[in-house]
Amino acid sequence: MKTYNYLSNAVTRFGAISTQVITIVFILFTISASAQMHSTMPAVPSPTGNSIPFGGFGGLTAGYGIQYLITPGTALGGFTTAPTPGNNISTLYIRSAATSSPVTYSNFTIKLGQTTATELTTGVWVTSGMTQVYFSSSQSITWVNGTWIQFNLQTPFLYDPAQSLIIEMTHTAISGLTATIFPIANHSATVGLVRRVWATNPPPAPVGSAGTLLYCGIDVTPAAPCTEPPVPGSATANPPSSRRRPN
Protein backbone atom coordinates (compact mmCIF):
# COMPACT_ATOMS: atom_id res chain seq x y z
CA MET A 1 0.00 0.00 0.00
CA LYS A 2 1.30 3.44 -0.88
CA THR A 3 0.98 6.55 1.26
CA TYR A 4 1.33 10.10 -0.04
CA ASN A 5 1.66 13.34 1.93
CA TYR A 6 0.01 16.60 0.83
CA LEU A 7 -0.11 20.01 2.48
CA SER A 8 -2.62 22.73 1.82
CA ASN A 9 -1.41 25.54 -0.43
CA ALA A 10 -2.08 27.86 2.45
CA VAL A 11 1.40 26.65 3.38
CA THR A 12 3.29 27.58 0.23
CA ARG A 13 1.61 30.28 -1.83
CA PHE A 14 3.83 33.00 -0.42
CA GLY A 15 6.58 30.66 0.69
CA ALA A 16 10.29 30.70 0.01
CA ILE A 17 11.38 30.78 -3.63
CA SER A 18 13.32 27.56 -3.20
CA THR A 19 13.48 24.84 -0.60
CA GLN A 20 15.83 21.92 -0.34
CA VAL A 21 13.84 18.75 -0.56
CA ILE A 22 15.13 15.38 0.49
CA THR A 23 12.91 12.45 -0.39
CA ILE A 24 13.61 9.15 1.24
CA VAL A 25 11.70 6.14 -0.01
CA PHE A 26 11.79 2.89 1.94
CA ILE A 27 10.45 -0.27 0.34
CA LEU A 28 10.10 -2.64 3.28
CA PHE A 29 10.18 -6.43 3.53
CA THR A 30 6.52 -6.80 4.42
CA ILE A 31 3.59 -8.67 2.95
CA SER A 32 2.16 -5.26 2.01
CA ALA A 33 5.06 -3.27 0.56
CA SER A 34 4.96 0.38 1.66
CA ALA A 35 6.26 3.50 -0.09
CA GLN A 36 5.91 6.89 1.50
CA MET A 37 6.65 10.30 0.02
CA HIS A 38 7.90 13.02 2.37
CA SER A 39 8.07 16.69 1.39
CA THR A 40 9.50 19.56 3.39
CA MET A 41 7.48 22.74 3.11
CA PRO A 42 8.57 26.33 3.63
CA ALA A 43 7.05 28.05 6.63
CA VAL A 44 4.07 30.33 6.17
CA PRO A 45 5.15 33.99 6.32
CA SER A 46 3.35 35.57 9.27
CA PRO A 47 0.97 32.69 10.04
CA THR A 48 -1.91 33.71 12.25
CA GLY A 49 -2.87 31.76 15.36
CA ASN A 50 -6.60 31.27 15.82
CA SER A 51 -8.43 30.39 19.03
CA ILE A 52 -11.41 28.76 17.27
CA PRO A 53 -12.26 26.00 18.07
CA PHE A 54 -9.41 24.87 20.34
CA GLY A 55 -8.35 27.93 22.30
CA GLY A 56 -11.32 28.94 24.42
CA PHE A 57 -12.82 31.57 22.11
CA GLY A 58 -16.34 30.99 23.46
CA GLY A 59 -15.15 30.49 27.04
CA LEU A 60 -12.35 28.51 28.65
CA THR A 61 -14.56 25.44 29.09
CA ALA A 62 -17.10 25.86 26.28
CA GLY A 63 -17.59 23.47 23.38
CA TYR A 64 -17.03 24.86 19.91
CA GLY A 65 -16.83 23.83 16.28
CA ILE A 66 -15.45 24.95 12.93
CA GLN A 67 -15.71 24.00 9.27
CA TYR A 68 -12.97 24.80 6.74
CA LEU A 69 -13.12 24.44 2.96
CA ILE A 70 -10.10 23.32 0.89
CA THR A 71 -10.57 23.94 -2.82
CA PRO A 72 -9.53 21.57 -5.63
CA GLY A 73 -6.41 22.27 -7.66
CA THR A 74 -3.12 23.78 -6.54
CA ALA A 75 -4.00 27.47 -6.42
CA LEU A 76 -4.12 29.34 -3.12
CA GLY A 77 -6.50 27.44 -0.84
CA GLY A 78 -5.85 23.98 -2.35
CA PHE A 79 -3.16 21.37 -1.83
CA THR A 80 0.30 22.09 -3.21
CA THR A 81 0.28 18.82 -5.13
CA ALA A 82 -3.13 17.61 -6.23
CA PRO A 83 -3.79 14.03 -5.05
CA THR A 84 -4.82 11.62 -7.76
CA PRO A 85 -8.33 10.10 -7.83
CA GLY A 86 -9.01 6.76 -6.19
CA ASN A 87 -7.37 7.48 -2.83
CA ASN A 88 -8.56 7.55 0.75
CA ILE A 89 -7.55 10.26 3.20
CA SER A 90 -6.00 8.29 6.07
CA THR A 91 -4.39 11.05 8.17
CA LEU A 92 -5.14 14.71 8.83
CA TYR A 93 -2.53 17.18 10.07
CA ILE A 94 -3.13 20.65 11.46
CA ARG A 95 -0.38 23.12 12.25
CA SER A 96 0.11 24.35 15.80
CA ALA A 97 0.65 28.10 16.29
CA ALA A 98 0.97 28.17 20.09
CA THR A 99 2.48 26.26 23.00
CA SER A 100 0.44 25.00 25.93
CA SER A 101 0.19 22.49 28.71
CA PRO A 102 -2.06 19.50 27.91
CA VAL A 103 -5.60 20.54 27.00
CA THR A 104 -8.46 18.04 26.92
CA TYR A 105 -11.39 18.26 24.49
CA SER A 106 -14.53 16.27 25.27
CA ASN A 107 -16.25 14.34 22.49
CA PHE A 108 -13.76 15.62 19.94
CA THR A 109 -14.99 14.80 16.44
CA ILE A 110 -13.61 15.23 12.94
CA LYS A 111 -15.92 14.97 9.93
CA LEU A 112 -15.03 15.25 6.25
CA GLY A 113 -17.25 15.98 3.29
CA GLN A 114 -17.06 17.17 -0.31
CA THR A 115 -18.87 19.74 -2.40
CA THR A 116 -18.68 21.28 -5.86
CA ALA A 117 -18.89 24.72 -4.23
CA THR A 118 -15.70 26.75 -3.85
CA GLU A 119 -16.81 28.59 -0.75
CA LEU A 120 -18.95 28.04 2.31
CA THR A 121 -22.07 30.09 3.05
CA THR A 122 -22.22 32.62 5.86
CA GLY A 123 -24.64 31.44 8.53
CA VAL A 124 -24.88 27.88 7.17
CA TRP A 125 -23.39 24.77 8.80
CA VAL A 126 -22.93 21.95 6.27
CA THR A 127 -24.55 18.73 7.48
CA SER A 128 -25.44 16.87 4.28
CA GLY A 129 -22.79 14.42 3.11
CA MET A 130 -20.49 14.84 6.12
CA THR A 131 -18.80 11.62 7.33
CA GLN A 132 -17.40 11.11 10.81
CA VAL A 133 -13.80 9.94 10.42
CA TYR A 134 -12.40 10.46 13.93
CA PHE A 135 -13.83 10.53 17.45
CA SER A 136 -12.38 10.67 20.94
CA SER A 137 -14.46 11.07 24.07
CA SER A 138 -11.44 12.70 25.73
CA GLN A 139 -8.85 14.07 23.29
CA SER A 140 -5.69 15.43 24.94
CA ILE A 141 -3.53 17.79 22.88
CA THR A 142 -0.30 19.45 23.98
CA TRP A 143 0.16 22.32 21.56
CA VAL A 144 3.75 23.07 20.50
CA ASN A 145 4.25 26.09 18.28
CA GLY A 146 5.45 25.26 14.76
CA THR A 147 4.69 21.53 14.91
CA TRP A 148 2.08 19.29 13.31
CA ILE A 149 -0.82 17.75 15.22
CA GLN A 150 -1.55 14.39 13.61
CA PHE A 151 -4.89 12.58 13.58
CA ASN A 152 -4.89 9.04 12.20
CA LEU A 153 -8.42 8.66 10.92
CA GLN A 154 -10.46 5.76 12.28
CA THR A 155 -12.51 5.74 9.08
CA PRO A 156 -10.61 6.42 5.82
CA PHE A 157 -12.35 8.94 3.58
CA LEU A 158 -12.60 8.44 -0.18
CA TYR A 159 -11.37 11.73 -1.63
CA ASP A 160 -12.26 13.19 -5.02
CA PRO A 161 -9.59 15.84 -5.81
CA ALA A 162 -11.91 17.44 -8.38
CA GLN A 163 -14.18 18.67 -5.58
CA SER A 164 -13.68 20.90 -2.56
CA LEU A 165 -12.97 19.23 0.77
CA ILE A 166 -14.81 20.30 3.93
CA ILE A 167 -13.00 19.69 7.22
CA GLU A 168 -15.13 19.88 10.36
CA MET A 169 -13.71 19.79 13.92
CA THR A 170 -15.95 20.00 16.99
CA HIS A 171 -15.90 19.31 20.72
CA THR A 172 -18.41 19.71 23.55
CA ALA A 173 -16.16 21.01 26.36
CA ILE A 174 -12.57 22.03 27.20
CA SER A 175 -10.52 21.39 30.34
CA GLY A 176 -6.98 22.49 31.13
CA LEU A 177 -7.09 26.07 29.85
CA THR A 178 -6.28 28.94 32.21
CA ALA A 179 -6.36 31.63 29.52
CA THR A 180 -7.40 31.95 25.89
CA ILE A 181 -4.76 30.60 23.49
CA PHE A 182 -4.44 30.78 19.69
CA PRO A 183 -3.22 27.31 18.75
CA ILE A 184 -4.52 26.56 15.24
CA ALA A 185 -2.47 28.03 12.40
CA ASN A 186 -4.17 29.85 9.55
CA HIS A 187 -2.58 31.48 6.52
CA SER A 188 -2.08 35.22 6.93
CA ALA A 189 -3.76 35.77 3.54
CA THR A 190 -7.47 35.54 2.86
CA VAL A 191 -9.14 34.87 -0.47
CA GLY A 192 -12.13 37.19 -0.18
CA LEU A 193 -14.51 34.22 0.08
CA VAL A 194 -16.02 32.28 2.96
CA ARG A 195 -13.51 29.52 3.66
CA ARG A 196 -14.44 28.88 7.31
CA VAL A 197 -17.51 29.13 9.51
CA TRP A 198 -17.61 28.58 13.27
CA ALA A 199 -20.27 27.85 15.83
CA THR A 200 -20.89 26.99 19.45
CA ASN A 201 -21.33 23.26 19.91
CA PRO A 202 -23.64 21.76 18.97
CA PRO A 203 -24.19 23.59 15.65
CA PRO A 204 -26.02 24.26 13.30
CA ALA A 205 -26.13 28.02 13.80
CA PRO A 206 -22.72 29.49 12.88
CA VAL A 207 -21.90 32.69 14.70
CA GLY A 208 -19.11 33.83 12.36
CA SER A 209 -17.33 33.33 9.05
CA ALA A 210 -14.15 34.46 7.27
CA GLY A 211 -11.97 33.87 4.24
CA THR A 212 -9.02 32.61 6.32
CA LEU A 213 -7.29 29.46 5.06
CA LEU A 214 -6.40 26.42 7.16
CA TYR A 215 -2.75 25.37 7.47
CA CYS A 216 -3.15 21.60 7.14
CA GLY A 217 -1.97 18.44 5.45
CA ILE A 218 -3.22 14.96 4.57
CA ASP A 219 -1.92 11.48 3.87
CA VAL A 220 -3.71 9.42 1.24
CA THR A 221 -3.62 5.71 0.52
CA PRO A 222 -5.06 3.77 -2.43
CA ALA A 223 -8.70 2.91 -1.97
CA ALA A 224 -8.24 -0.46 -3.71
CA PRO A 225 -6.56 -3.34 -1.82
CA CYS A 226 -2.81 -3.62 -2.26
CA THR A 227 -1.89 -6.34 -4.76
CA GLU A 228 1.83 -5.67 -5.18
CA PRO A 229 4.10 -8.54 -4.06
CA PRO A 230 6.94 -7.92 -1.58
CA VAL A 231 10.18 -6.63 -3.08
CA PRO A 232 13.71 -6.31 -1.65
CA GLY A 233 14.17 -3.28 0.57
CA SER A 234 16.09 -0.20 -0.52
CA ALA A 235 16.65 3.39 0.51
CA THR A 236 17.21 6.29 -1.88
CA ALA A 237 18.22 9.85 -0.98
CA ASN A 238 17.66 12.48 -3.66
CA PRO A 239 19.99 15.50 -3.85
CA PRO A 240 18.65 18.94 -2.90
CA SER A 241 16.38 20.53 -5.50
CA SER A 242 14.77 23.91 -5.96
CA ARG A 243 11.05 24.43 -5.56
CA ARG A 244 9.38 26.42 -8.31
CA ARG A 245 8.26 29.88 -7.27
CA PRO A 246 4.50 29.97 -6.71
CA ASN A 247 2.45 31.94 -9.20
Per-residue pLDDT of the chain (247 residues; tens, 9 = 90+): 666 666 666 543 333 323 333 222 333 323 233 323 222 243 455 678 888 899 988 789 989 999 999 888 777 777 777 788 888 999 999 889 899 999 999 999 999 999 999 999 988 999 999 999 999 999 999 999 988 899 999 999 999 999 999 999 999 999 999 899 998 888 766 677 888 998 887 666 788 888 888 888 889 889 876 565 655 554 444 444 333 333 3
Q: Using alpha carbons, list the distances in angstroms from residue 47 to 89, 114, 183, 247.
A: 25, 26, 11, 19
d(CA 216, CA 126): 20
Closest C-alpha to 233, from 26, 38, 36, 34: 26
Strand ranges in the chain using DSSP code E only, listed in sequence order:
2-7, 24-27, 35-37, 48-50, 62-70, 87-95, 103-115, 131-141, 148-159, 164-175, 184-190, 196-200, 208-210, 212-214, 216-222, 234-237
What pLDDT shows up at residue 156?
95
pTM for the model: 0.77
What pLDDT shows up at residue 57?
84
156 prior amide bond cis, ω within 30: no
d(CA 81, CA 152): 21
What pLDDT shows up at residue 149?
92
What pLDDT shows up at residue 103?
95
